[in-house]
C-alpha cells in the first residue's frame, strides 16, 4: 500500500466551545496508481480527511503510513519534506500567490524542496504547455480565468512528481469544460505516472472516473455501493 490510515479521529471546538467530532475512526488504504473518490454530505469531514492525510493538520488519534513509514509519528518539522516530495495538493480555491506570476507559482513547489531553478524550470514549462497555460506564464492570478488558475495550481501540485495527489473539490469553481481538463489530468496521473489520487467531490461524473468511491458517514469511511 502507498497510503494506509487507521482509526483517524479529529474533533474541533464549536462556537460555544463544545467539542464537535468530525472523524471518528476513519480507515482508508490506497494502492500505488489507484484513483479513489471520497463523497459525503456537506460538513461530513471530507476536507478534514484530506488535511490529515496531507499532514496539514495533526491527528487527535490514529495512524497514517506512507509505504513503510508511520508519518503521523514524525514531528511537524520532519513532516515538511514528506509533504514537499510525496504529496501534491489541488484545492478548490486554487491557493495561488497573488504577487507571483503563473510560472512563479508553479515553481514554488520546486523551491519548497530545494530543487534548483535550472533543473525544475524545463519541467514546469512542459507541464504548463501540456495543460494549455504556457502562454499565460507571465500573467498574475488576477489576470487568469478560474480554469486557468486551477490548471496552474495543478501544475504546481505535480511538479515534483509526488506519488500521492490530494484534490479537494478541484472542479467546484469550474464550468464543465474546464472541469473535464482537470479530471482528465488527474486520471492520467494514475494511468501514466503511477501516482495515487484521492479526490473529494460531490460530482457524480467525477466520482465515476475513480477506481472506487468511499463515502463518509458518521465520521467513518465505507465503500459507496450506490456508484
Cα–Cα distance between 100 and 208 in angstroms, integer? Answer: 35
**Residue reference for cell 533543473:** 119
Beta strand residue intervals within 148-219, DSSP E = 164-168, 196-200, 212-217
Rounded to 5 degrees, φ, ψ at 4 are -135, 115
pLDDT of residue 204: 87
Cα–Cα distance between 183 and 204 in angstroms, integer? Answer: 12
Region 77-84: mean pLDDT is: 93
**Residue reference for cell 524542496:** 113
pLDDT of residue 227: 55
Q: Following DSSP, what letter does each residue of 89-142 receive, concatenated?
A: EEETT----TTS-HHHHHHHHHHHTT--HHHHHHHHHHHHHHTT-GGGTT--GG
Task: Count the helix, strand and coil residues of the chain and give each as a percent rounded to the nearest 5.
Answer: 40, 25, 35
Do residues 180 and 169 touch, judged by C-beta distance below 8 A? no
pTM to 2 decimal places = 0.93
84-110 pLDDT, tens digit each: 999 999 998 999 999 999 999 999 999
140-165 pLDDT, tens digit each: 999 999 999 999 999 999 999 999 99
178-218 pLDDT, tens digit each: 999 999 999 999 999 999 999 999 888 899 999 999 999 88
226 has pLDDT over 70? no
Domain 3-223 has CATH 3.30.56.10: no
pLDDT of residue 224: 82
Cα–Cα distance between 196 and 169 in angstroms, integer? Answer: 16
Amino acid at each position: 500500500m502507498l497510503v494506509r490510515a487507521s482509526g483517524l479521529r479529529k474533533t474541533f471546538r464549536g462556537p460555544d466551545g463544545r467539542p464537535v467530532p468530525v472523524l471518528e475512526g476513519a480507515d482508508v488504504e490506497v494502492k500505488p496508481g489507484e484513483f479513489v473518490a471520497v463523497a459525503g454530505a456537506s460538513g461530513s469531514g471530507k476536507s478534514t480527511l484530506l488535511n490529515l492525510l496531507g499532514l496539514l493538520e495533526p491527528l487527535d488519534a490514529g495512524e497514517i503510513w506512507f509505504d513503510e513509514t508511520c508519518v503521523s509519528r514524525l514531528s511537524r518539522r520532519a513532516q515538511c519534506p514528506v509533504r514537499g516530495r510525496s504529496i501534491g495538493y489541488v484545492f478548490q480555491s486554487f491557493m495561488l500567490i497573488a504577487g507571483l506570476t503563473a510560472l512563479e507559482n508553479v515553481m514554488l513547489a520546486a523551491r519548497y524542496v530545494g530543487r534548483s531553478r535550472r533543473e525544475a524550470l524545463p519541467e514546469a514549462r512542459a507541464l504548463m504547455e501540456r495543460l494549455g497555460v504556457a502562454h499565460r506564464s507571465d500573467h498574475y492570478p488576477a489576470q487568469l480565468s478560474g480554469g486557468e488558475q486551477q490548471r496552474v495550481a495543478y501544475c504546481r501540485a505535480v511538479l515534483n512528481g509526488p506519488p500521492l495527489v490530494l484534490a479537494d473539490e478541484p472542479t467546484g469553481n469550474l464550468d464543465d469544460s474546464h472541469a473535464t481538463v482537470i479530471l482528465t489530468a488527474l486520471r492520467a496521473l494514475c494511468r501514466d505516472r503511477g501516482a495515487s489520487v484521492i479526490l473529494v467531490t460531490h460530482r457524480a461524473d467525477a466520482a465515476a472516473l475513480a477506481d472506487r468511491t468511499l463515502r463518509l458517514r458518521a465520521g467513518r469511511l465505507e465503500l459507496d455501493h450506490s456508484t
